[in-house]
Amino acid sequence: MRRVTIIGSGRTGRGMLGELFYSEKNFDLVFADIDSKLVDTLREQGYYTVEQKNLLTGTIRKTRVDNFHAVDVKRDHAAYIDFLAESEIVATAVFPESFDAVAADLAEMVSLRNNRHIVAPVAVILGGNYVGLKPRFDTAMTALLSEPEKDHYNKYVTLITSKANRKVVYPDVLQEDALALTGDDKPVLQVDNAFRFGPDWNMPSFFEPIDSCELGMIKKIWNENLLHCSLGFMGAYAGCETINQIASDKRAWELAKYAWFEGRRALELEYGMPMPSDKEVRETFEKFTSPFFSDQISRIVRQPIRKLQANDRFLGPAFLCMKHGIVPYFIFHAAAYGFCYTDETEPQSVQIAEVLKEKELSAAVSTICGINENEEKSRFARDMITAAIREITAGDSKPLMRVG
Ligand SMILES: NC(=O)c1ccc[n+]([C@@H]2O[C@H](COP(=O)([O-])OP(=O)(O)OC[C@H]3O[C@@H](n4cnc5c(N)ncnc54)[C@H](O)[C@@H]3O)[C@@H](O)[C@H]2O)c1
Ligand SMILES: O=P(O)(O)OC[C@@H](O)[C@@H](O)[C@H](O)[C@H](O)CO
């Protein structure tokens, strides 16, 4: 049996990666997570279900995933590193805040493989909405390796960027299966075409190797995720619970669409990615307003400070727009909504509110977005977002920010 270990067994780890590897039928599946309760439930229950929905027709396909191992990254640490060392494929599905911890575990994997003289190659499929996944993990891992371990790493371990694009959410109706997940029907995982297995290697059928998945990530995050979060921030401000509600609001949809178009125009000028056709715009709208899927605003806008950083979904495309002489007016406007609501259950939203109370508005925007005050374009971004926040909140009875 070929082994795959999935690090991060949440929505994407179970709902996309787990389901896809399970459906291959020839993988021994290991789920690893730091959430002890989740690991215990996976062990006790022994199965979970994944529903894939076509957002346009509502057609459903269900997969029951079972026969897997589950390990706690901390409690079962030795067994976890052992699973990693004996895997043909390792796949990660965690947030950037966990990248360093996961890189440290992967470095331990390299060390154990080196001690055991394991010469079978391993592919580490890196997942997460982050531009620059491979250099980020490579730097963090190599900093922890000794010279002989680096040698092993360079010979046998390949980091592969992947583009997980299935929207995976918890079902909106309570199910008998406590681990059930629902997603849209994305059956393919784009991966960097950089594998170093032999010519007879049996590539998983759902892998779609492409020449630069890092570029693919830019095209995804500065485009699809830009539109998604533009609607998400506006929805959070408007008090909506799901994306369908805010996307059905004509003004919100139009504003988000203009932000999306600004980003797409910059991607067209930089990378030749064409502007969306009328059909793409229509289908995207239909998917966001689909009655068959409840994508929670709280999920879409989770960790808002991460989403407001320089290479993420707003400022990443905004800087690319400026490079090409486009004023990213609607992108800044959409980003500004991220400052205009407070979700008490989201630590980064509470942190934004605290900074807004402590600092003068443009200084708060700089702090939250990590603006480099020495750069003219960064100062322009700060000033545009500041002005947009003022415009959005003008007349609000309870201003979030310090007045004056
Ligand atoms: N849910 C989606 O639709 C979706 C789609 C595409 C990409 N993504 C990306 O996938 C990543 C995970 O998102 P998600 O929605 O699955 O989140 P999630 O919160 O459902 O799952 C993340 C899991 O990682 C675990 N984890 C955190 N630190 C860990 C560590 N050091 N070692 C092992 N496990 C650890 C958490 O306990 C959690 O179970 C993010 O980078 C996200 O941007 C998500
Ligand atoms: O995962 P995040 O928090 O970076 O972003 C939230 C969503 O935009 C994201 O998970 C998408 O649903 C996913 O990227 C699929 O396109």
- Residues 93, 173, single domain; the answer is yes
Neighbouring C-beta atoms of residue 95, cutoff 10 Å: 14
pLDDT attached to residue 399: 59
pLDDT attached to residue 398: 65
CA–CA separation, 78 and 85 (whole Å): 11
CATH, residue 353: 1.10.1040.10
How much distance in Å is there from the Cα of 167 to the middle of ligand 2?
7
Residue 402 lies in a domain: no
Cβ–ligand 1 contact at 106 (below 6 Å): no
CATH, residue 141: 3.40.50.720
CA–CA separation, 352 and 334 (whole Å): 16
- Residues 299, 183, single domain; the answer is no
Please list the ranges in the chain whose pLDDT falls under 50: 404
pLDDT attached to residue 396: 85
- Residues 270, 368, single domain; the answer is yes
Domain holding 33, by residue range, is 2-211
Number of domain units in the chain? 2
- Residues 202, 221, single domain; the answer is no
- Residues 122, 236, single domain; the answer is no
- Residues 129, 161, single domain; the answer is yes
- Residues 176, 233, single domain; the answer is no
- Residues 245, 364, single domain; the answer is yes
- Residues 188, 238, single domain; the answer is no
Tell me if 252 sits within 8 A of 235, measured CB to CB.
Answer: yes
Name the nearest CA neighbour of 339 among 300, 378, 395, 301: 301
CA–CA separation, 47 and 68 (whole Å): 8
> Measured from the CA of 14, which atom of ligand 1 is nearest?
16
Cβ–ligand 1 contact at 18 (below 6 Å): no
Tell me if 337 sits within 8 A of 392, measured CB to CB.
Answer: yes
Residue 404 lies in a domain: no
- Residues 89, 228, single domain; the answer is no
Residue 222 lies in a domain: yes
- Residues 68, 119, single domain; the answer is yes
First to last CA, the chain: 66
Residue 403 lies in a domain: no
CA–CA separation, 168 and 131 (whole Å): 20
End-of-domain residue from the set 164, 190, 211: 211
Residue 398 lies in a domain: no
pLDDT attached to residue 404: 46
Tell me if 113 sits within 8 A of 85, measured CB to CB.
Answer: yes
Residue 48, beta-bridge partner list: 65
pLDDT attached to residue 400: 64
> Measured from the CA of 300, which atom of ligand 2 is nearest?
6
How much distance in Å is there from the Cα of 300 to the middle of ligand 2?
6
- Residues 235, 203, single domain; the answer is no
End-of-domain residue from the set 184, 211, 238: 211
Cβ–ligand 2 contact at 3 (below 6 Å): no
* β strands within 34-169, DSSP E: 47-53, 60-66, 68-72, 89-92, 122-126, 157-163, 168-169
Query: Does the predicted interface ipTM exceed a cut of 0.90?
Result: yes
